[in-house]
A and B are shown apart, each in its own frame.
Chain A
Amino acid sequence: VRSAPRARPRSARQPRATPGIFALLALLPICSAAGEPIVLEFGRYLAKYPAMYSTSAFSADPRDSIYDASGRSRDGVAPTYGADSAFPQKRFDLQFEWFFPFFETEAIPLISDRTWTARADLGYSHLSADGGIADYARSHGLKESQSGITDIALHFGPVLYGSDNWRERADVPLSILLLADFTIPIGRRHPDAAVNAGTNTFSYGATLGGYWRPIKGLFLDAGAHWRAFAKNDEPAFEGQEPSKQGSQLSFDATLAAKLWGPIYASGSYLDVRGEVNEYSGARASAHPPSAGLLMETFPDARNAKDDGIRDRRADAALHWFVLQRLRLSLHYVMPVGGRSGEFDLPYQQQLLDCVALPTGCTPTPNGSDHVDGLGPARVYASNYFLLSATWNFSQGDFWLYGP
Chain B
Amino acid sequence: MSGARIVALNSHRAARCAAAAALIALAFQASAAHASILFTPHLDEYADLPRGSYADHTLVFTHITKVFDDEGTTIPLGAPFVGPGQRLDAALLLFRYLWIGNLFENTWVPFLNDHKQIFRVIANAGWQETSEAITERSRLFGLHTGGNGVGDLFVLGGLYSHEHRLGPLKFNGLLATTVKIPVGSYDTGALLNVGSHYWSTMPQLAAHADLFGRLHFDGTVAYQFNGRNDAPAYGGMTPTEPANVYNLEGNLAWQFNEKWFWDVGAFFRKSRGPNKFGNVTATFVDPQPATTLCADPTGGLIPGLSIPPNLCSVTNHFALIPVAGEREDKGIRQLYLSTSVYYIYRTSSVIDFRVAYPLNGRGSQFPMDYDVALIGPDGSRTPISDCSNPQDSACQHTKLNGVQEAAAVPAAPLFELRFVYLFWAP
Contacts and interface: CB of A to CB of B under 8 A. Distances in A.
A233 B93 contact: no
A51 to B, nearest CB: 12
A234 interface: yes
Nearest to B346: A105
Contacts of A234: 129, 132, 135, 144-146
B360 interface: no
A188 B136 contact: no
Interface in B40-74: 59
Contact of B129 (A2, A10, A200, A355): A200
Contact of A9 (B130, B131, B285): B285
Interface string A182-202: 001111111110000010100
B84 to A, nearest CB: 10
A2 B78 CA distance: 11
A233 B145 CA distance: 9
A185 B192 CA distance: 14
Interface in B224-277: none
Contact of A356 (B136, B185, B291): B291
Given A4-B292, A186-B91, A200-B127, A233 B135 contact: yes
Given A11-B285, A186-B148, A152 B129 contact: no
A32 B292 CA distance: 40
A293 B144 CA distance: 33
A1 interface: yes
A6 B295 CA distance: 13
B140 A9 contact: yes
A1 B136 contact: yes
Given A188-B148, A192-B144, A2 B300 contact: yes
Contact of A149 (B131, B140, B149, B289): B149
Contacts of B288: 4
Given A1-B136, A184-B127, A103 B291 contact: no
A339 B177 CA distance: 55
Contacts of B185: 148, 188
B175 interface: no
B83 interface: yes
Count class of interface residues, chain B: 35 or more
Contacts of B299: 2
Given A9-B285, A200-B129, A233-B135, A2 B146 contact: no
A3 interface: yes
B204 to A, nearest CB: 28
Interface string B12-32: 000000000000000000000
Contacts of B283: none
Interface in B89-141: 91, 93, 125-127, 129-133, 135-137, 139-140
Interface of B: 59, 80-83, 91, 93, 125-127, 129-133, 135-137, 139-140, 144-146, 148-150, 185, 187, 285-292, 295, 299-301, 303, 316-317, 345, 423
The 9 closest A-B pairs by CB, nearest first: A10-B286, A188-B149, A356-B316, A1-B133, A186-B125, A4-B292, A191-B144, A356-B289, A186-B127
Given A148-B150, A187-B149, 5 more contacts: A1-B137, A185-B127, A188-B148, A198-B148, A234-B135
